[in-house]
Chain A
């Protein structure tokens, strides 16, 4: 019971972090049709910026400053690079974000080095928030959950209650119509892209010190975020939410299970030895298989429900 509860909480906090990332990605994709390959690079930048900024003015100011800086960077990228490529089609757009992710990785390694940086939790977030069934649940992960939900709420409020939000929603499906009404749609795109980058960076600020801050963090979480987006259904925020939690919880549980098909079979009396056909496959514990579970889910979804869980718009 204790294992279940703690793993569920851990899974949910990881899933919410994934959602913070995949929601920004989905928004940008829905609006501009561009899948931003550099999205997780902005996540990484957020972590690294926060690391440097917290070293000078502390973590809590960094929570605001780092996303702001990355948001500006994202907006500048949209304005000077992505927009240029828009007329060439979707493939070049994807490629330019791919190139950007490459570049950001190199620059990060250049400035901060290739090793893990000691980006630590501030005092207020260290230690457990509460103890459940004898195991502690850390403040940092609770903070991630809190921040993710707060972010979700504010974005929802922004999109549905403010004027700029309504313009964005309209531009989501009918950019030309919105432009002919007199709104500066290119500026809206720039804002959304910058906003998406800032959200990714925010996730990085809190994810970087809860988990780890190193150059490979963008790539490690990148492919999972893309899986989340495809499994949830391209362009669906609700789908991204569902898929993030599903994958977050699935992976967290799987990593803790040491049983394998072999041990399972043995438990019900079937003899499994090294000579058994497929032994290599059978002896894999669930924990060992955990890293590929998101991708297996991807394959299953593609076979049985290609639209994604809640997908509407075609990729």
Chain B
């Protein structure tokens, strides 16, 4: 039954990839979907390190970036006719580049684990980013390297000029990469990577060299990172070292993979979707979007370290025991009382941002259909009151919810014990 369910999910995934751009036809939607496509690959490859291997990396952008650079150079060489590579295999060039550099840098990087590993990846990331400025020939200096993805004879009649064709290229790679990375989790190396995450010392006592397991996992993750980076390069037709290799970008992968959920395979996929929504849509709506992301991340780490995926799965478990209905009302109240907290807090933050960044355009701003004036005390007071009242109500509804949740969990535990005893 589980196997049939799993097959169904994969079929649904493929169907979604095929059908979504046909439903949402705007060019904005297509941009979003294309970015989600390769970011899913990147975030999944990142989680191979974090969620599967317990390796926290602050320098993953090195491998996506180098993959992108290699891909772009390959495309330029192909355009000149020096390299007979059709566009459809360019992502593999990126993948091989990612793999090569992961093998090169990874040996030293994986010598340590845990916190030290994280610091090393940070240092390596800075090293590569700094070095990129020294080799403008390869890295294109401040302007980066541009390319044209329409070259040669195309592929089966596709020139890959129109965005929709690029999207389907990305979608194909996305599906295959996801399938391969999922398959990896069920192989000996994949499982030993999990073992290294849980207990690196014990792994040595069952015959495995912990560093080799990490190193090989690192290389494979680098391969997929390179593919993702190459697709990004194809998508934008430009790659830039200050952006593509930066620690800010690495931090973004980390943040959103964690937000999506590092403990489940599909968590990073959610994270990738959130990343695109946040960086493309949310950034348009408010200048404070980074602050909001930071707050959400901080709260997630403190209260839901398994990310969105774990929240979903916890509720799926509750539903599987038929108790979800009882939680619907507490959930509704929780969300209702959270609304004024978000509204009040966001209003204050937006007003502060208005003063700091938009002073030239005056003191008024529109906030969800309400006119706020940074000069008027009423706006500030009103927002503060909404926030304060909301916090009080939220605390009350949170306690009620915690009670209901706790009750449900107890009952589920009891039922599980019962089933075991039978």
Q: Which residues of A are in contact with B by a Cβ distance under 8 Å?
A: 29, 33, 35, 81, 84-85, 88, 90-92, 94-96, 98-100, 102-103, 106-107, 110-111, 113, 219, 223, 226-227, 229-230, 234, 280-281, 284, 288-289, 291-292, 294-296, 298-299, 302-303, 306, 314-315
Nearest 10 pairs of A and B residues by beta carbon? A315-B116, A295-B127, A99-B298, A102-B294, A106-B291, A103-B294, A292-B130, A226-B119, A223-B126, A35-B115
A96, B112: Cβ atoms under 8 Å?
A: no
Query: What's the least CB distance linking B310 to chain A, in Å?
Result: 12
B112, A302: Cβ atoms under 8 Å?
A: yes
Q: Does B122 contact A (CB under 8 A)?
A: yes
Chain B residues lying within 8 Å of A223, measured Cβ to Cβ, are 122-123, 126, 247
Cα(A296)–Cα(B54), bound, Å: 26
Q: Does B114 contact A (CB under 8 A)?
A: yes
Q: Does B396 contact A (CB under 8 A)?
A: no
B134, A289: Cβ atoms under 8 Å?
A: yes
B108, A226: Cβ atoms under 8 Å?
A: no
Chain A residues lying within 8 Å of B23, measured Cβ to Cβ, are none
Residue of B nearest to A104 (CB): B294
B113, A110: Cβ atoms under 8 Å?
A: no
B123, A298: Cβ atoms under 8 Å?
A: yes
A85, B301: Cβ atoms under 8 Å?
A: yes
Q: Does B82 contact A (CB under 8 A)?
A: no
| Interface pairs (10), CB distance under 8 Å | A33-B115, A85-B302, A91-B54, A92-B301, A226-B123, A284-B134, A302-B111, A303-B108, A315-B112, A315-B115
Query: What's the least CB distance linking A90 to chain B, in Å?
Result: 6
Known: A234-B115, A292-B131. A103 touches B305 (CB 8 A): no
User: What is the interface of chain A mostly: helix, strand, loop, or mixed?
Assistant: helix
Chain B residues lying within 8 Å of A91, measured Cβ to Cβ, are 50, 54, 56, 114
Chain B residues lying within 8 Å of A229, measured Cβ to Cβ, are 119
Query: What's the least CB distance linking A246 to chain B, in Å?
Result: 15
Query: What's the least CB distance linking A196 to chain B, in Å?
Result: 16
Residue of A nearest to B306 (CB): A88
A219, B115: Cβ atoms under 8 Å?
A: no
Chain B residues lying within 8 Å of A85, measured Cβ to Cβ, are 301-302, 305
Selected contact of B301 from candidates A33, A90, A99, A281, CB within 8 Å: A99
Query: What's the least CB distance linking B133 to chain A, in Å?
Result: 8
B298, A111: Cβ atoms under 8 Å?
A: no
Known: A110-B356, A113-B356, A234-B116. A94 touches B56 (CB 8 A): yes
Q: Does B184 contact A (CB under 8 A)?
A: no
Produce 1/0 per residue, B115-151, CB < 8 A to A: 1111110111011001100110100000000000000
Q: Does B264 contact A (CB under 8 A)?
A: no
Chain A residues lying within 8 Å of B111, measured Cβ to Cβ, are 302, 306
Known: A99-B297, A106-B294, A298-B123. A92 touches B116 (CB 8 A): no
Cα(A306)–Cα(B131), bound, Å: 23
Beyond the given pairs A94-B56, A302-B112, 7 more chain A to chain B contacts, judged by CB atoms under 8 angstroms and listed by A's residue number, are: A90-B114, A91-B50, A223-B247, A234-B116, A292-B130, A295-B126, A298-B124
Chain A residues lying within 8 Å of B254, measured Cβ to Cβ, are 95, 98
Query: What's the least CB distance linking B48 to chain A, in Å?
Result: 15
Known: A288-B134, A315-B112, A315-B113. A295 touches B119 (CB 8 A): no
Query: What's the least CB distance linking A13 to chain B, in Å?
Result: 23
Query: What's the least CB distance linking A129 to chain B, in Å?
Result: 33
Residue of A nearest to B117 (CB): A315
Cα(A33)–Cα(B118), bound, Å: 14
Within 8 A of A (CB), among B233-276: 247, 251, 254-255, 258
Cα(A302)–Cα(B123), bound, Å: 12
B115, A102: Cβ atoms under 8 Å?
A: no
Residue of B nearest to A107 (CB): B291
Within 8 A of A (CB), among B213-228: none
Within 8 A of A (CB), among B93-114: 108-109, 111-114
Chain A residues lying within 8 Å of B124, measured Cβ to Cβ, are 295, 298-299
Residue of A nearest to B356 (CB): A110
Chain B residues lying within 8 Å of A103, measured Cβ to Cβ, are 291, 294-295, 298
Query: What's the least CB distance linking B105 to chain A, in Å?
Result: 9
Q: Does B29 contact A (CB under 8 A)?
A: no
Residue of B nearest to A288 (CB): B134
Within 8 A of A (CB), among B132-174: 134-135, 137
Cα(A190)–Cα(B111), bound, Å: 32
B291, A110: Cβ atoms under 8 Å?
A: yes
Cα(A284)–Cα(B119), bound, Å: 27
Chain B residues lying within 8 Å of A295, measured Cβ to Cβ, are 123-124, 126-127, 130
Known: A111-B356, A227-B123. A95 touches B115 (CB 8 A): no
Q: Does B316 contact A (CB under 8 A)?
A: no
Cα(A91)–Cα(B111), bound, Å: 18
Chain A residues lying within 8 Å of B122, measured Cβ to Cβ, are 223, 226
Produce 1/0 per residue, B76-93, CB < 8 A to A: 000000000000000000
Q: Does B290 contact A (CB under 8 A)?
A: yes
Known: A85-B305, A94-B56. A100 touches B120 (CB 8 A): no
Selected contact of A90 from candidates B112, B115, B291, CB within 8 Å: B115
Query: What's the least CB distance linking B155 to chain A, in Å?
Result: 35
A230, B119: Cβ atoms under 8 Å?
A: yes
Cα(A286)–Cα(B119), bound, Å: 25
Cα(A91)–Cα(B57), bound, Å: 11
Query: What's the least CB distance linking A249 to chain B, in Å?
Result: 19
Q: Does B175 contact A (CB under 8 A)?
A: no
Cα(A226)–Cα(B119), bound, Å: 6
Q: Does B16 contact A (CB under 8 A)?
A: no
Known: A100-B298, A107-B291, A306-B112. A94 touches B118 (CB 8 A): yes
Chain A residues lying within 8 Å of B120, measured Cβ to Cβ, are 230, 298, 302
Q: Does B353 contact A (CB under 8 A)?
A: yes
Cα(A284)–Cα(B136), bound, Å: 12
Residue of B nearest to A225 (CB): B119
Chain A residues lying within 8 Å of B290, measured Cβ to Cβ, are 102, 106
Chain A residues lying within 8 Å of B50, measured Cβ to Cβ, are 91
Chain B residues lying within 8 Å of A88, measured Cβ to Cβ, are 305
A315, B305: Cβ atoms under 8 Å?
A: no
Chain A residues lying within 8 Å of B301, measured Cβ to Cβ, are 85, 92, 95-96, 99
Cα(A99)–Cα(B117), bound, Å: 18
B305, A280: Cβ atoms under 8 Å?
A: no
Cα(A75)–Cα(B293), bound, Å: 24
Query: What's the least CB distance linking A97 to chain B, in Å?
Result: 10
Cα(A103)–Cα(B50), bound, Å: 22
